[in-house]
Chains A and B, each alone.
Chain A
């Protein structure tokens, strides 16, 4: 039986574990912290703009499990906020245990609090992953979903220092670039000013610390928009953000809060003193990152060069997904790339052609498009998400943005890929 080892238990790694398992592999998922879904523990925005299409496509391709969970745990569905339509906001407190239970039910071996630190290589094959306790996990195929965020030294050099985010590097140790350890050089994202990396795009406020009016509005509508005092509006801040889909003027002139269990504040960081000048936020405090008044985590410092089937260039048996695989933003983007990498890990072990999704699907197109753009200087400064900015515009322009489920189904049926992720290959 093929043994697939996945490094990194975020959304991409969890999705890869599910699809590799469904294709017939024995799956081991290694995660350095004590929780799965990584940044998904503080995220929560699904189905906004083109993400609706991508989630529907992935489900029709046969991998709807994780979207079913986020739907089931949604606090709000079909809400609009500036620049965004039909979003769903999942409850960050509910989702992780649900994913963990699903993986357990599927008989996927999850090694929590196990940190990968190195690879054992023979020629261009990875034979095993070395953990921080010096034990080795061997496998046939490996999938790297370690993301591109942190660790502390990087957040300090390229940002404002460790802001104590959900990844908790000081406690669980740093992320390691597996591909780089295996001799494949990382690609680095840049921000507008050509500095490397970018700040994570949102922080979360403790909801209990907000005024009753704001809490009520968040509970009722999912969204609360508060104007920023004129002297504090900073448009240049938008440049440093990861999430270009939220880098709109409205997001600089207003405090936009979304209800994901916490109050998600759509800005990388915001000094607490200034925040507390706003009516209703007089007692506000941060929930994630804990030092959201100072900074946020730095991302996109570790991207592996890859094919459109998610295989890492230069190595025979390493695939990648999520932020590790490109300048992607978001849970949906991690899940769809993770699913493809997981499925292809089994194909790779069997020596059958890897699945490459056609460009008339949004998923296939974003994977190919991001790969083309990463080769250009300007492309390194952009982020690719179904939810906004350049890529959502492209979805609109070329007719990939579809919110009619039946229409998406007919398209997938026509190209004969319906339920392909449910095929057991071994």
Chain B
């Protein structure tokens, strides 16, 4: 039987084709998987053509550089927002929802690279804003950095279902973000408002126990943005989500949080028998971001292994084959 076609987030970027093409492991192009004929998930360009035109070699790699920490705001014991100086080009490249970079304390080895969602960017002046929660070895060491930090990027697969964010215009949308997932929610809200959607934003403090997004969204179009703070797991939170789904004819739901949160929200959607587009934070563990190391691999129901640091898959598929724990 023909294989399921997969969609790599890097297609069409200056980083495609990548090392995976050189090793016949391309996520999207059948020729660059060692097959004889075209059978790709077409994204508007021919990867094989790009590869041939580049002399049958992969294109440039991501930059790795030292970035100055311009500001470091301690939100709570376990949550920090940092403002980093980067090139204007990188700030522009990271402007889209789902963008992320790897950060590392200068003193540490490369295996301390921690993937971090972009919360906001300032492309005029070359800054990025990142919120991180201190959880394990990587973030504990990262938190020790005070002046400079190593940045590697740009990467883009921090969200699953990204293309729906581009497709939805003039509709009602429900954005739900819990805890540190408020960070990626910011660019999502901006994108949806830019496309003239009406956004109901339910923000839950979650494990960081703070609302950190307020300053980032306070100047946005308030006519089209309703902000509600609520514990989404509470009875009130549950009925809030259900009512909104039902009465607002919601076209797109964004779920920002753990896989448990995703499963919970998808459950509420299914109870109402609705079928909105679902965009969700990609919670797999990324290590190299290049589809090489395998740490982000997840198995789909059909047994196929997918490198989720680069592959766009349906969130339902992504959490289907997984044992979910908070």
Contact = CB atoms under 8 A, between A and B. Distances in A.
Please indicate whether A and B come from the same complex rather than being unrelated chains: yes
Interface of A: 117-118, 132, 150-154, 156-157, 161-162, 169-170, 173-174, 176-177, 180-181, 183, 186, 196, 301-302
B42 A153 contact: no
B320 interface: no
Interface stretch (B29-37, B83-91, B93-101): B29-37
Given A156-B52, A157-B31, A161-B52, A151 B2 contact: no
A152 B46 contact: yes
Given A157-B48, A162-B49, A183-B1, 6 more contacts: A153-B37, A154-B38, A157-B31, A162-B46, A174-B42, A180-B39
A151 B37 CA distance: 9
Contacts of A186: 37
B225 interface: no
B135 interface: no
Nearest to B31: A153
B45 interface: yes
Given A174-B38, A176-B39, A153 B2 contact: no
User: Which 8 residue pairs spanning A and B have beta carbons closest together?
Assistant: A152-B46, A153-B48, A153-B38, A173-B42, A153-B31, A154-B38, A151-B38, A181-B2
A116 to B, nearest CB: 12
Given A153-B31, A154-B37, A183 B46 contact: no
B13 to A, nearest CB: 17
B127 to A, nearest CB: 37
B40 interface: yes
A151 B39 CA distance: 9
Interface in B22-64: 29-31, 36-40, 42, 44-49, 52
Contacts of B37: 153-154, 186, 301-302
A234 to B, nearest CB: 24
Contacts of B42: 117, 132, 173-174
Contacts of B31: 153, 157
Nearest to A301: B37
A173 B5 CA distance: 15
A152 B49 contact: yes
Q: Number of contact residues on B: which range applies?
A: 10 to 19
A301 B38 CA distance: 10
A107 B85 CA distance: 62
Contacts of B2: 180-181, 183
Contacts of B52: 156, 161
B247 to A, nearest CB: 26
Nearest to B2: A181
Given A157-B31, A162-B49, A183-B2, A152 B39 contact: no
A381 to B, nearest CB: 18
A124 to B, nearest CB: 13
Contacts of A180: 2, 39
Interface of B: 1-2, 5, 29-31, 36-40, 42, 44-49, 52
B2 to A, nearest CB: 5
A170 B42 CA distance: 10
Contacts of B49: 152-153, 156, 161-162
B1 A174 contact: no
A359 B45 CA distance: 45
Name, among B29, B31, B48, the residue most crowded by chain A CB atoms within 10 Å (CB to CB). B48
B52 to A, nearest CB: 6
Contacts of B38: 150-154, 174
A347 B202 CA distance: 57
Nearest to B42: A173
A186 B36 CA distance: 12
Nearest to A169: B46
A156 B48 contact: yes
21 contacts: A118-B5, A152-B38, A152-B49, A153-B29, A153-B30, A153-B47, A154-B38, A156-B46, A161-B49, A161-B52, A162-B49, A169-B46, A170-B44, A170-B45, A170-B46, A173-B42, A173-B44, A176-B39, A180-B2, A180-B39, A183-B2
A173 B31 CA distance: 16
B312 to A, nearest CB: 13
Contacts of B45: 170
Contacts of A150: 38
- The winner among A150, A162, A169, A176 for most chain B CB atoms within 10 A is A176
Nearest to B48: A153
Contacts of A154: 37-38
Contacts of A152: 38, 46, 48-49
A232 to B, nearest CB: 27
Nearest to A186: B37
Contacts of B48: 152-153, 156-157
Contacts of A174: 38, 40, 42
Contacts of A156: 46, 48-49, 52
B277 to A, nearest CB: 10
A162 to B, nearest CB: 6
A177 B1 CA distance: 13
B45 to A, nearest CB: 7
Nearest to A157: B31
Nearest to B4: A118
A405 B46 CA distance: 49
Contacts of A173: 42, 44
Contacts of B44: 170, 173
A218 to B, nearest CB: 35
A141 B44 CA distance: 30
A174 B46 CA distance: 9
A176 B48 CA distance: 16
From B2, B29, B46, B52, name the one whose CB has the most chain A CB atoms within 10 angstroms. Answer: B46
A369 to B, nearest CB: 26
A196 B2 CA distance: 20
Nearest to A150: B38
A180 B36 CA distance: 13
A117 B43 CA distance: 12
Among A152, A157, A161, A301, find the residue whose CB has the most chain B CB atoms closer than 10 A.
A152
A86 B125 CA distance: 72
A234 B264 CA distance: 69
B40 A153 contact: yes
